[in-house]
Structure 1
């Protein structure tokens, strides 16, 4: 393995072979883990900035003149941009280098942070708030570039854990900013949003500095428009995008909306809401690596299937609590649902490289050729799936907005979410776990020979 420094371009590793056990044990693991650590730090701050408006709305009392529907819409706009920028952020890693782009994307977080610092006061127009909320969406793009970068550093049998840890550490940024908000409201009051921003702006600079000093670029990563087109034509990309709406879309959507739901459905004060909102996102983030580990051990499709069933049950509990107006039952169900979104986030993301590795075997590819095929297509697919999945958060916030506009509660929104999780359960089973009709013997494809692709494909995906 050799590394070089390019003028203004940072450190580049020319040779990277993570599937080679000797290379991995002697050199690869140490380098990959170091990059993972500082990727987590940067992504963590990115998630905090992305979710900034989920906590800034807690500071927006009656003097701001914005009703609950307007606040849900502000939060939804940040989610929208965060989802859309994930595709270009995915390609930026290969264009600029993983380390270089991490530095640049971290630096971009200063723009929405400074803008929010300037405008956060009564009398600012709703349009101005909307524009600033849109700017915070750049924090959502950090997830896609970070996951694409880390995906290239680790061997297939380590990807579930590594991607789960990377994503989980980033997701904790949502809970972290909610905890800091709680402290700010408790100490300075709910009229001091600039105190919160004064804490996070320096952290943006720190994360960019760490990435500059301690991360690496992989020269083997290349932008491949052909891979993007190929994954865009592949049905599995869109199926996994749909499932990721159910897991990550739920996590980010609930994280952004939880405080507003507590305020408007259960009449909690900003301090009371802030004292509760961080619990779910924190647990959902911490559990995500476990979801990846379980997927590595038992198969992502199996874990994802039963996770959707459990999410449906938790949503049914939330519905019951909403009807009975039981805050305790509501919180218990919601916290369990947050935990399940974390497990599902880890298991679905593990499925992505596994699916394309399985497709390589179905096509008869072996060894490094199969590994290259899997890395190439899974890297491209991550951007698409991450973007579409992020739009699930937009859908959740818009569903809450409409539900509160129509009925004054979130009951109709939760009913819709319950139906959606049932559909996700059926899709996971039908595509990745259902045996072919006819009762014939099936087996996992190990090479290019054997039964037809249709009869072999479903069993081969059962362990992705």
Structure 2
């Protein structure tokens, strides 16, 4: 049985305009006839449908990031719970979820066209129960073999994979002129999961625990919320029949230099955000152990969550600024600030001043967050421009280029997430080889300078063509 979405009677001004595309609802919450670029359809019912799907997408992705980042904060408490881990093992537990999550983003990109956005959100949210409960089982016993812990940490990568499918899904719901803000909100809501996990877990595992730690609660507390996300997606989200994978176009995207260019830039922005978010609790614990945890009543609080928090909040504003000024301009500014922030951390580390350390790192997080939104906004612009659209910044191009851009969003997000593996590993090697983190941070300063030069070249290319990229 199908039903057609009714629309209000057209006003006198609308009477002369072309009729809006008709939306048809089918069983299983499938929608036929979706066209976000149709202004009348968007105004009458499209915007409301898109916003409803965006809200539940954000919540599900938020939980994905929570699960993805659980080990980054739990590892700091493992020694106090009786676990004996080397520096190398600790950094592997921090970085393994990012390695797996980044790899899962490749297949996750194509799950929305295969199963539908609503259906895949339910499936991917349900998979989060496995690593959440698995973590609780592992940390309950200090005798748990390291190999088992590493496997469960790898399963936390399910949460990282969610980002690719969520972003690919939302890009179908919004017109080109609003993609930066919508994708920025969706990503920021997910990114906030890292901050919330790092804020809530230290409190939950210590409140009322006395001399012991309630480490299993670090995973168990999220299970009820994951169930809420599954039910919410079932009741309130939709599948779009036009969200189809164009395999030929996707393969063409892999051959496009624009995709590899954006993958490199996204490693610099998102990779920095997720990598430093993962390792920040460990950095604070090593460099400033006296500031690693603050007593709050009967619990403890870590300030490590502030990095992920400010980076997450900056992301949608980076997308909005990119909508207005172009993604390359904002990304250039982001890399300048990131390089300056990382260099400032290196210069001030010998002063052993925690507040300088925290302040400069927060500047780095803010810049990486804004750069996330801006860099991501460049992807549909470049692919629309590649398709022959006159102005890729405000025109989405044809349907094939939109599908290619959606696939590119997921593929680029996958490469970017590898930064979450690289950054902890580089800093771990720096710590093991030099006894500190300064050398590793200097490598990142050099990388940001190179990425700044590349982004500037992209901006100049767009200017020559009269387009804001």
Match of 1:440 in 2: none
Q: Distance between the aligned counterparts of 2:466 and 2:270, measured in 1? A: 21
Match of 1:214 in 2: 236
Match of 1:61 in 2: 79
CA shift for structure 1 position 368: 9.1
Q: Distance between the aligned counterparts of 1:462 and 1:419, measured in 2? A: 29
Match of 1:47 in 2: 65
- Pick the aligned partner of 1:2 from 17, 20, 23: 23
The 3 A distance-change label for structure 1 pair 230 and 458 is: farther
- Pick the aligned partner of 2:436 from 409, 412, 415: 409
SS in 2 for 1:13: strand
Q: Distance between the aligned counterparts of 1:276 and 1:145, measured in 2? A: 31
* Native 8 Å contact 1:59 1:270 kept in 2: no
CA shift for structure 1 position 338: 0.7
Write out per-residue CA displacement over residues 73-114 of structure 1, whole angstroms, 9 at most, x where no aligned residue: 111111100000001111000000000000000000011111
**Equivalent runs, 1:440-459 vs 2, <5 Å:** 459=464
SS in 2 for 1:317: helix
The 3 A distance-change label for structure 1 pair 52 and 364 is: closer
Q: Distance between the aligned counterparts of 2:112 and 2:62, measured in 1? A: 18
Give structure 2 stretches of 5+ with no counterpart.
Answer: 1-21, 295-299
**Equivalent runs, 1:275-294 vs 2, <5 Å:** 275-294=302-321
Match of 1:79 in 2: 98
- Pick the aligned partner of 2:157 from 137, 148, 159: 137
CA shift for structure 1 position 146: 0.3
Match of 1:108 in 2: 127
**Equivalent runs, 1:194-273 vs 2, <5 Å:** 194-268=216-290, 271-272=293-294
- Pick the aligned partner of 1:152 from 149, 169, 172: 172
**Number of aligned pairs?**
438
* Native 8 Å contact 2:188 2:312 kept in 1: yes
* Native 8 Å contact 1:433 1:461 kept in 2: no
Tell which deviates more after alignment, 416-425 or 267-276: 267-276
Match of 2:148 in 1: 128
Q: Distance between the aligned counterparts of 1:364 and 1:288, measured in 2? A: 24
Tell which deviates more after alignment, 404-413 or 138-147: 404-413
Match of 1:393 in 2: 420
Match of 1:33 in 2: 51
The 3 A distance-change label for structure 1 pair 406 and 38 is: same
Q: Distance between the aligned counterparts of 1:210 and 1:28, measured in 2? A: 20
What is the RMSD computed on CA atoms of the aligned residues? 1.9
Write out per-residue CA displacement over residues 170-206 of structure 1, whole angstroms, 9 at most, x where no aligned residue: 1000001111113224414562111222211111111
SS in 2 for 1:85: helix
Write out per-residue CA displacement over residues 338-384 of structure 1, whole angstroms, 9 at most, x where no aligned residue: 1111100100111111111122236999x999232431211111121
TM-score, reference length from structure 2:
0.90
| TM superposition outliers: structure 1 runs of 4+ over 4 Å | 362-365
Q: Distance between the aligned counterparts of 2:351 and 2:292, measured in 1? A: 23
Is 2:104 the partner of 1:96?
Answer: no
Write out per-residue CA displacement over residues 156-177 of structure 1, whole angstroms, 9 at most, x where no aligned residue: 0000000000000110000011
The 3 A distance-change label for structure 1 pair 250 and 188 is: farther
Instruction: Give the structure with the higher percent helix.
Output: 1
Write out per-residue CA displacement over residues 220-268 of structure 1, whole angstroms, 9 at most, x where no aligned residue: 0112211221110000100100000011000000111000011112224
The 3 A distance-change label for structure 1 pair 75 and 217 is: same
- Pick the aligned partner of 2:29 from 11, 20, 26: 11
SS in 2 for 1:51: helix
SS in 2 for 1:377: helix
SS in 2 for 1:244: helix
CA shift for structure 1 position 116: 1.1
Is 2:44 the partner of 1:23?
Answer: no
SS in 1 for 2:30: strand
Tell which deviates more after alignment, 384-393 or 318-327: 318-327
SS in 1 for 2:453: helix
TM-score, reference length from structure 1:
0.91
* Native 8 Å contact 1:43 1:170 kept in 2: yes
Q: Distance between the aligned counterparts of 1:288 and 1:388, measured in 2? A: 18
Q: Distance between the aligned counterparts of 1:212 and 1:11, measured in 2? A: 9
The 3 A distance-change label for structure 1 pair 309 and 41 is: same
Q: Distance between the aligned counterparts of 1:363 and 1:372, measured in 2? A: 15
